[in-house]
């Protein structure tokens, strides 16, 4: 239950497996996706599909640069994004809001004019306070011993509650199947002592897998390094254990604001307000009961 956040570990992280009934459990693991070194090869998308036998999600021309996948969903568990910006890499804000990129053929864009291509491999965030897991009425969604969030396909009855609950728009119902699907952080591979397929396939180490505490140390070092090199817009997303979802199990190094990457700028788990919501419902329910008495008292006259 995430109405109360799991207590912090000595290293400053949070341990959701411990409050989910795992007395003995391995370190919490996750992803650090360093988008500054993503080259957009989509090896992660392919490796994920292959390993997890995720069905195809259509061959579409979306007009989103080299992104023909669209967004995360029931049949897309890793998604590589392509963002084209008229901006010299390493400069702060110059030329950010330049006119439509389509007006200028890509080949004519000289380096001095400024052009940068942001690429990022998006994935389920495996939240510390996971809304999907909180609202699931069947227990199909559960917290693993690794601190990740996984759907049990043999339990899910397709009620769809987790879909609008997720603040990141990740989990979705699969058409023709009825159940919901999302990244499992390769639960089966973790059990066998392997790293997730996407991380193993990533040729630049943009996707790093490991114990979350270690990844955060590495990520902070990387941000400092980028700032020193003049890439002042580098920042971490989801690394703060005190944010609205208690921090993410899959966090990111971004080169622009989160919303540019289809990430909510300040996500909050909706169940955080659950006690207040039941309070409001209790008052409304009482009003309805009082109205019953009133109607029969009034009707008596």
Partner 1 sequence: MSTTEERSVAATNADGSERRRSAGRALVPDVEVRTYYDRSVLKRPTWKHWIAEYFFLGGLSAGSSLLAFGASRTGRRALARRSRLVALAAVGGGGAALVADLGRPERFANMLRVAKVTSPMSVGSWVLAAYGPATGVAAAADVLGVFPRLGAAAEGVAAALAPVVATYTAVLVADTSVPAWHGARGELPYLFAASAGASAGAAALALTPVAENGPARCWAVAGALGEVAASTIMERRLGELAEPYHTGRAGILSKAASACALAGAAVGLLRGRRRRGAIISGALVAAGSLLERFAVLEAGRQSAADPKYVVKPQRERLDATRPSESE
Token pair for residue 243?
Answer: 């944010």
Q: Which is nearer to partner 1, 47 or 162 (CB)?
A: 162
Of positions 21, 58, 62, 227, contacts partner 1 by CB under 8 A: 62
For CA atoms 22, 23, 25, 27, give the dihedral sign.
positive
Which 263-292 residues touch partner 1, going by CB under 8 A?
A: 263-267, 270-271, 273-274, 276-278, 280-289, 291-292
From the list 216, 272, 267, 270, the residue with the least C-alpha distance to 239 is 216
Q: Which is nearer to partner 1, 59 or 175 (CB)?
A: 175
Strands 78-85 and 250-254: what pairing? unpaired
How many residues line the site for partner 1 (CB under 8 A)? 93
Of positions 102, 105, 112, 192, contacts partner 1 by CB under 8 A: 102
Cβ-Cβ contacts under 8 Å for 147 (sequence gap 6 or more): 15, 16, 17, 25, 28, 29, 30, 126, 212, 249
- Tell me the closest approach of the beta carbon of residue 250 to partner 1, in angstroms: 16
- Tell me the closest approach of the beta carbon of residue 27 to partner 1, in angstroms: 25
Which 113-132 residues touch partner 1, going by CB under 8 A?
A: 118, 131
Which 145-184 residues touch partner 1, going by CB under 8 A?
A: 155-161, 163-173, 177-180
What's the DSSP call for residue 9?
P
Q: Which is nearer to partner 1, 23 or 288 (CB)?
A: 288
Tell me, residue by residue from 3 to 42, as one string, x for binding to partner 1 by CB under 8 A and - for no binding: x---------------------------------------
3-class secondary structure, 174: coil
Is the Cβ–Cβ distance between 54 and 48 less than 8 Å? yes
Which residue in this structure is represented by tokens 């080299």?
A: 66
Spatial separation of the C-alpha atoms in residues 59 and 69, rounded to whole Å: 8
- Tell me the closest approach of the beta carbon of residue 193 to partner 1, in angstroms: 30
From the list 277, 248, 273, 283, the residue with the least C-alpha distance to 263 is 248
Under rule CB under 8 A, residue 232 binds partner 1 = no
Which 74-93 residues touch partner 1, going by CB under 8 A?
A: 81, 83-86
- Tell me the closest approach of the beta carbon of residue 148 to partner 1, in angstroms: 18
Spatial separation of the C-alpha atoms in residues 160 and 179, rounded to whole Å: 8
Q: Which is nearer to partner 1, 87 or 189 (CB)?
A: 87
Of positions 27, 71, 213, 214, contacts partner 1 by CB under 8 A: 71
> How far, CA to CA in Å, does 112 sit from each of 37, 67, 87, 118, 136?
21, 26, 9, 18, 52
Stretch of 25-33, 99-107, 190-198, 230-238 contacting partner 1, by CB under 8 A: 99-107
Of positions 101, 109, 194, 200, contacts partner 1 by CB under 8 A: 101
């Amino acid at each position: 239950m995430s109405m109360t956040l799991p207590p912090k570990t000595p290293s400053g992280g949070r341990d959701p497996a411990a409050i989910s009934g795992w007395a003995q459990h391995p370190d919490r693991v996750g992803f650090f996706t360093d988008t500054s070194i993503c080259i957009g090869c989509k090896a992660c998308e392919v490796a994920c599909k292959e390993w997890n036998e995720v069905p195809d999600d259509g061959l579409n021309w979306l007009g989103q640069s080299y992104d023909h996948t669209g967004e995360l969903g029931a049949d897309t568990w890793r998604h590589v994004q392509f963002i084209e910006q008229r901006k010299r890499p390493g400069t702060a804000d110059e030329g950010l809001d330049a006119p439509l990129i389509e007006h200028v053929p890509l080949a004519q864009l000289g380096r001095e004019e400024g052009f940068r291509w942001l690429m990022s491999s998006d994935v389920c965030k495996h939240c510390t306070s996971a809304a999907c897991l909180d609202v699931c009425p069947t227990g199909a969604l559960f917290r693993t011993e690794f601190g990740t969030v996984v759907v049990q396909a043999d339990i899910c009855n397709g009620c769809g509650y987790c879909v609008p609950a997720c603040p990141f728009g990740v989990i979705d119902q699969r058409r023709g199947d009825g159940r919901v699907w999302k990244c499992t952080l390769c639960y089966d591979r973790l059990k066998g002592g392997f790293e997730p397929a996407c991380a193993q396939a990533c040729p630049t180490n943009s996707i790093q897998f490991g114990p979350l505490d270690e990844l955060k140390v590495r990520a902070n070092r990387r941000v400092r390094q980028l700032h020193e090199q003049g890439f002042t817009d580098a920042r971490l997303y989801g690394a703060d254990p005190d944010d609205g979802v208690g921090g993410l199990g899959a966090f990111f190094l971004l080169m622009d604001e989160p919303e540019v990457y289809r990430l909510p700028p300040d996500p909050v788990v909706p169940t955080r307000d659950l006690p207040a919501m039941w309070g409001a419902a209790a008052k409304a329910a009482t009003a309805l009961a009082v109205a019953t008495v009133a109607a029969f008292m009034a009707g008596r006259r």
